[in-house]
Amino acid sequence: MKKVKVLYFGSISEAAGRKEENLETEGKLDQLLSLVEQKYPEIKDIRHRIAINQEINPDIVELSDGDEIAFLPPFAGG
Amino acid sequence: MTKVKYLIEGPVKPGFVSEKIAEHQDKTSIGAHAFFLGQVRADKVGENETLGIEYSAYEDMVEKVVKEIKDDLFSRFNDLICLHIWHSVGLVKAGEISLFVIVSSGHRKQAFAAVEECVEQIKEKLPVWKKELFDDGGHVWN
């Protein structure tokens, strides 16, 4: 099992009821994303991108211990 | 306090802007500063009016993205001398400033062009979110 840190931002932090948590996953990104969507089904309805270690939509399938996975709704700075 | 130097807790105060002007007076190769100040607008949505915006950010990623924006602009505008960005996190009330960009160059043309480009890149790439707070107690995420 891999231990990763999951971060939730903007409207997704409200849907998840938290800003971050540590989760254990078997190691594939897809498995982690399904786990999070099961926990917080509302996330599926919110448009977002995924960043791993601050890189958006990286070409990563397998997660490593200590990875930081972030759920990013559309940015709205300014 | 935020741990990232580009982020300010609460609004950008007018005094902060004048301090930054003063800090550039020893850089005498500068001939032009172009500024952008983003102000929170009291939008009307139906019956409700915006009281303020609560900003939040992915702080570590902000640091990385600001560096990327600066590297990109310095590589494309050869007359640039300084480029600084400050964005608010936390509550900024309607009428207060939430974004402050200064671009300084030898001559005015590149300062004007680069400040516009910089603000566009901030809008597109900076991981910041807005929770717009209304006078009836409601909110929306933008």
pLDDT tens column, A24-65: 999 899 999 999 999 999 999 999 999 999 999 888 889 999
Q: ipTM for the complex?
A: 0.94
The secondary element (H helix, E strand) that includes residue B110 is helix B108-125
pLDDT of residue B105: 98
pLDDT of residue B83: 98
Cα gap B39→B37, rounded to integer Å:
6
pLDDT of residue A59: 86
Residue located via tokens 């938290």:
A18
CA A40, chain centre distance (Å): 11
Q: Which of A5, A46, A54, A68 to mutate to test the interface with B (most CBs of B within 10 A)?
A: A54
User: Is pLDDT at B20 greater than 70 in this prediction?
Assistant: yes
Cα gap B6→B59, rounded to integer Å:
9
Q: pTM score, two decimals? A: 0.94
User: Is pLDDT at B55 greater than 70 in this prediction?
Assistant: yes
Please calculate the CA angle A29-A32-A33 and round it to the nearest 5 degrees. 85
The predicted model gives B30-39 an average pLDDT of 98
pLDDT of residue B46: 87
Under an 8 A CB cutoff, do B126 and A54 touch?
no
Q: Which of A5, A7, A9, A50 to mutate to test the interface with B (most CBs of B within 10 A)?
A: A9
Q: How far apart, in Å, do the first and last CA atoms of chain A sit?
A: 40
B111 CB neighbour count, 10 Å cutoff: 26
How do residues B75-119 score in pLDDT, each as one tens digit?
A: 999 999 999 999 999 999 999 999 999 999 999 999 999 999 999
Please list every residue in chain A whose beta carbon sits closer than 8 Å to the beta carbon of residue B58. 7, 9, 51, 54, 70, 72
User: Is pLDDT at B47 greater than 70 in this prediction?
Assistant: yes
pLDDT of residue B45: 85
Cα gap B7→B60, rounded to integer Å:
11
Cα gap B50→B91, rounded to integer Å:
12
pLDDT of residue A18: 98
Would you list which residues of chain A are within 8 Å, Cβ to Cβ, of chain B? 7, 9-11, 13-14, 51, 54, 70, 72-73, 75-78
Cα gap B86→B19, rounded to integer Å:
13
